[in-house]
Amino acid sequence: MRRVAIRGLLARPVRTILTALAIVLGVAMVSGTYVLTDTIENAFNGIFSSSYRNTSVVIAGKEVVADSSSGSATVPESLLPKVRRIDGVQEAAGAIYSLEGSSDLAKLVGKNGKPLGSAQSPSFAFGFNAADSRFNPLSLTTGRWAVGPGQVVIDKNTADEHGYKVGDSVGVSAEGPARDFKITGIAKFGQVASLGGATIAIFDVPTAQKLLRKEGQFDSIFIAGAEGVPPSKLVGDIRPLLPPTAAVKTARQQASSNSKETKKFISFIQAFLLAFAGIALFVGSFVIYNTLSITVAQRTREFATLRTLGATRRQVLRSVLLEGLVIGLIASTIGLLLGLALAKGLNAIFDALGLSLPHTGTVFKERTVIVSLLLGTAITVLSTIAPARHATRVAPIAAVREGAELPATRASKRSPVIGAVVFLAALAVLAYASFSNLKVGDALLLLGLGCLLLFAATALNAARLVRPLAAAIGVPVRRAGGAPGQLAAENSTRNPARTARTAAALMIGLGLVALVATLGQGLRESDKQSLERQVRADYVLTSKNGYDTFATSAAQAATNAPGVDTATSVRQEQAKVFGKGERVNGVDPAIAQVLRVNWTTGSDALLGRLGTDGAVVEKDYAKKHDLRVGSRFDITTPTGNRISLRVLGIQQPKTIDKLDPLLAKIVIARATFDRAFPRGKDVLAFVKTAGGANPETTSALHGTLDSFPDTKLETKAGWVKARSNAFNTLLNLLYVLLALSVIVSLFGMVNTLVLSVFERTREVGMLRAVGMTRRQVRRMVRHESVITALIGAGLGLPLGVAVAALATHALADEGVTFSLPVGALILFTVVAFVAGIVAAVFPARRASRLNVLEALAYE
């Protein structure tokens, strides 16, 4: 039976290949994800290891507040001489060097006055003295280290990409207007030419301290121990000298600590991509099940003959399972190797979206091989079980019957009941997730489960929906396609279960695409309405990517532009409040002129009376922490300072504003903010003019802000549109990843059509014999494919919209409203139509080329 199974596969190479392709793509996604993330992790580990290659011990500021824009706490410069006097310390040097928390420290500015690098890529600024180059994690590729206030070294990737060389001038924008520096050298991180697309500027320490407002402070102190002195001893000797906000670790411990944060980020990317690989494999399982079900039905007489010759049911079962095992192993192996190429494709997608990640040589771990092979093979074999069991039901007498068919299985008889139960379960889960007061995360998790159950229920019941859908969709096909169109419509309903299974694979992909599109449209429209309502200003000033902080002097400069009545900004920084990180804003009284505040207790006038310790808190936050007017609470800044605040007012964003509130849950006076957060920056600035937004004022503002290239000025309308469209980057990534499942479903359609043509060989021969032309045969197969694809769209698109509507209802309290993306749904329908045409190309050509006489004689 083993030989029979193998020979059967070799005798049907086209079907074997098409069946395998459904798993190849899913496994390639799994393999590519592991290769990509392992390669990125290896690059980061190399960076962190090389950072401390000549170091025994590192003193660094603690991360007092997570995700602070000013980074970790600093280390006082006065600590360095004390460290140098410790026995066993051979050499020690202070540096401005941190890869944790803080980004966009200093942007390199090109000759055209625009920042180098993408808006999404970070911009690091480091400070190392030339005499302390042994501690510098970067190595020069050409030139020398910067010395003095007018010199800088830049990273090799930026230099190569923008044509800079030693001796050129480059602009640098940090805490104030951009100014020119002379490039004295080009450097890179060990073997990594690019730190994920980031731009890097390396100054000497005094220059970096001044640029970044860290006078008298270091980020780190690097220490090399004398020969024979263990790092652990140095750690013990140094620890008593440290302030509470600093920590000392061995070089190995520090590298490990740096790697932990990176691993969290990489794990998120890995889980994100594997989820889409799972969707592709799930769709692939439909394709395999459908293909093997058809082939088993077509081989009824073959199995019956084997039974007549003495093969037992168990042997037939093993034979079909062996076919699935072989297909799974072959497909998984090909997918594993294809993953190497797909990893580069995924990296290119991230690059195109401005989310560049560092990488060195490709990493191909044993885990990647084992998981890919096991997963692909297991899914293939599991999808084979039902068709294999069905094959065992063939009776030996079927070998001598003309047109013998497989008997119906118990599962097929019970499918209406099973489908109904699953459908009711899906509705129950979706209803509970949408209409119960659950946390957002729990509601979304249940919605995901309900969505899967709904797709499964639809797939189980799809056979009963095929005839009415095909009748409706087939009307234009019959009218436009003539006799071939009429035959195609009838063929699509000849075997409703088969058509349903074929359409179900496409249904899942299009359903998820419709879900994403509908949610995305709702998020965009909700955000647009919210921003329109909140902002009263004529212009908005932001960082280049719209979300990072920027220099406070930019808003101050805008005040002096002609035609400006009011220019004010919102400072922002993270603080630790009630044990957790929380955004804190600093504002002045003019903010009430440009932003609408929805007061519960207080008024706009209160913003001018906050004083040195007053605060306005958000209502839900106040309720959660039992705060009321007059209550006092403490916040801890990133530098470790503790500030006591008193609640003077309470504001509550309107429901629609909760999606994108422009004010934090804690708002204090700007003067108080500047004292508490010495390196705080602006996150938004607003400009109001007497005559509204007009070309003259716009031109004047641009002229004033030209020296701040890391900022972006837009009219209110332009800013609202750009900010609400920020969801598009994520949506485009989701579309690209979901396209894989749609491609897998196309292979399923090709497979089904090829098998259908094979099954109807005599029928096609008869049609050709009575006068049907080759072109008409191609049209018949093509129309059948289009009808099947549109059935998939007819099932999937409404399901996606329905689940999105329920998800929107669950998120209503977060300010999300429902908005139907009519244009996108029409586009997806067109995509399904085109997919049907593409899927039919090969089967249609094969059908039209059948030899008439051979087809008539075919059994």
Mean pLDDT (the chain) is: 84
Using a pLDDT cut of 90, give the percent of the chain over it: 29
- Residue 393's pLDDT band, with cuts at 50, 70 and 90, is low
Secondary structure class of 58 (helix, strand, coil): strand
DSSP string for residues in 140-184? EEEE----STTEEEEEHHHHHHHT--TT-EEEEESSSS-EEEEEE
Task: Indicate whether 181 pLDDT > 70.
Answer: yes
Predicted local confidence at residue 297, as pLDDT: 67
Q: Round to whole Å and give the CA distance between 229 and 59.
A: 17
Closest CA to 119 of 132, 131, 103: 103
Q: Is pLDDT larger for residue 176 or for residue 773?
A: 773
- Residue 402's pLDDT band, with cuts at 50, 70 and 90, is very low
- Residue 497's pLDDT band, with cuts at 50, 70 and 90, is confident
Instruction: Give the angle 776-781-787 at the CA atoms, nearest 5°.
Output: 120
For 656-717, give the secondary structure using H, E and C.
HHHHCCCCCCEEEEHHHHHHHCCCCEEEEEEEEECCCCCHHHHHHHHHHHCCCCCEEEEEHH
Predicted local confidence at residue 9, as pLDDT: 61
Least confident of 45-59, 100-114, 718-732, 800-814: 100-114
Report the number of secondary-structure helices (H) and strands (E) in the chain. Answer: 24, 23
- Dihedral-angle region of residue 566 (phi above 0 means left; psi in -120 to 50 means alpha; beta otherwise): beta
Two tokens at 696? 């003259």
- Radius of gyration of the chain, Cα coordinates, nearest whole angstrom: 33
Q: Which domain holds residue 124?
A: 63-244
- Residue 257's pLDDT band, with cuts at 50, 70 and 90, is confident
Predicted local confidence at residue 400, as pLDDT: 46
Closest CA to 130 of 104, 152, 112: 152
Predicted local confidence at residue 183, as pLDDT: 95
- How many CA within 13 A on the CB side of residue 357? 23
Task: Indicate whether 129 pLDDT > 90.
Answer: yes
The average pLDDT across 797-809 equals: 89
Handedness of CA 372, 373, 375, 379 (dihedral sign): positive
Q: Round to whole Å and give the CA distance between 108 and 623.
A: 45
Predicted local confidence at residue 295, as pLDDT: 73
Q: Is pLDDT larger for residue 846 or for residue 703?
A: 703
DSSP string for residues in 802-847? HHHHHHHHHTGGGT------HHHHHHHHHHHHHHHHHHHHHHHHHH
Name the most confidently modeled range: 52-66, 220-234, 401-415: 220-234
Closest CA to 711 of 560, 543, 521, 838: 543
Closest CA to 719 of 517, 522, 541, 497: 541
Predicted local confidence at residue 144, as pLDDT: 95
Task: Indicate whether 670 pLDDT > 90.
Answer: yes
Task: Indicate whether 103 pLDDT > 50.
Answer: no
Helix (H) / strand (E) element for 526: namely helix 496-534
Secondary structure class of 614 (helix, strand, coil): strand
- Residue 395's pLDDT band, with cuts at 50, 70 and 90, is low
Predicted local confidence at residue 559, as pLDDT: 87
Least confident of 535-539, 603-607, 706-710: 706-710
Predicted local confidence at residue 95, as pLDDT: 93
Domain tally, the chain: 2
Q: Which residue type, as a one-letter code, is found at position 267?
A: S
**Residue at which a domain ends, from 656, 682, 709:** 709
Name the most confidently modeled range: 414-418, 482-486, 828-832: 828-832
Predicted local confidence at residue 394, as pLDDT: 61
- Per the domain annotation, does 149 fall within a domain? yes
For 9, 37, 268, 365, 469, the CA distances from 368, given in Å and listed in that order, are 28, 11, 17, 5, 43
- Per the domain annotation, does 116 fall within a domain? yes
Predicted local confidence at residue 717, as pLDDT: 92
Q: Round to whole Å and give the CA distance between 472 and 787.
A: 10
The average pLDDT across 754-778 equals: 78
Q: Going by DSSP bridges, is the β-strand pair 57-61/220-225 parallel, antiparallel, or unpaired? A: antiparallel
Predicted local confidence at residue 687, as pLDDT: 93
For 509, 644, 739, 745, 824, the CA distances from 735, given in Å and listed in that order, are 10, 48, 6, 15, 12
Predicted local confidence at residue 7, as pLDDT: 63
Q: Round to whole Å and give the CA distance between 139 and 145.
A: 10
- Residue 104's pLDDT band, with cuts at 50, 70 and 90, is very low
Closest CA to 662 of 687, 683, 634, 690: 683
**Residue at which a domain ends, from 207, 223, 244:** 244
- Residue 743's pLDDT band, with cuts at 50, 70 and 90, is confident
- Per the domain annotation, does 558 fall within a domain? yes
Two tokens at 471? 């009748």
Q: Is pLDDT larger for residue 49 or for residue 226?
A: 226
What is the DSSP code (8-state) at residue 588?
-
Predicted local confidence at residue 614, as pLDDT: 94
Residue range 312-341, pLDDT digits in tens: 777 777 777 887 888 889 889 999 998 888
- Per the domain annotation, does 620 fall within a domain? yes
Q: Is pLDDT larger for residue 523 or for residue 190?
A: 523
Helix ranges restricted to H, 239-365: 251-298, 300-308, 313-352
- List residues bridging with 199 in a β-sheet: 123
Task: Indicate whether 384 pLDDT > 50.
Answer: yes
- List residues bridging with 687 in a β-sheet: 539, 567
The pTM assigned to this predicted structure is: 0.80
The average pLDDT across 582-608 equals: 92
Least confident of 95-104, 380-389, 686-695: 95-104
For 114, 116, 758, the CA distances from 161, given in Å and listed in that order, are 14, 9, 55
For 219, 677, 683, 719, 739, the CA distances from 71, given in Å and listed in that order, are 9, 12, 16, 28, 39
Predicted local confidence at residue 786, as pLDDT: 87
Residue range 452-466, pLDDT digits in tens: 888 888 877 777 888
Q: Is pLDDT larger for residue 50 or for residue 108?
A: 108
- Per the domain annotation, does 858 fall within a domain? no
The average pLDDT across 749-769 equals: 75
- Per the domain annotation, does 125 fall within a domain? yes
Residue range 417-446, pLDDT digits in tens: 777 888 888 888 888 888 877 777 778 788
Predicted local confidence at residue 62, as pLDDT: 87
- Per the domain annotation, does 677 fall within a domain? yes
Predicted local confidence at residue 637, as pLDDT: 92
- The answer to whether the CB of 634 falls within 8 A of the CB of 644 is yes
Predicted local confidence at residue 59, as pLDDT: 93
Predicted local confidence at residue 343, as pLDDT: 84
Q: Is pLDDT larger for residue 76 or for residue 297?
A: 76
- Residue 553's pLDDT band, with cuts at 50, 70 and 90, is confident
Helix (H) / strand (E) element for 784: namely helix 774-810
**Residue at which a domain ends, from 218, 244, 270:** 244
Predicted local confidence at residue 161, as pLDDT: 87
Can you tell me which residue has the tokens 């050709």? 768
- List residues bridging with 546 in a β-sheet: none
Task: Indicate whether 119 pLDDT > 80.
Answer: no
- Per the domain annotation, does 459 fall within a domain? no
First to last CA, the chain: 23
Q: Round to whole Å and give the CA distance between 275 and 269.
A: 10
Task: Indicate whether 591 pLDDT > 90.
Answer: yes
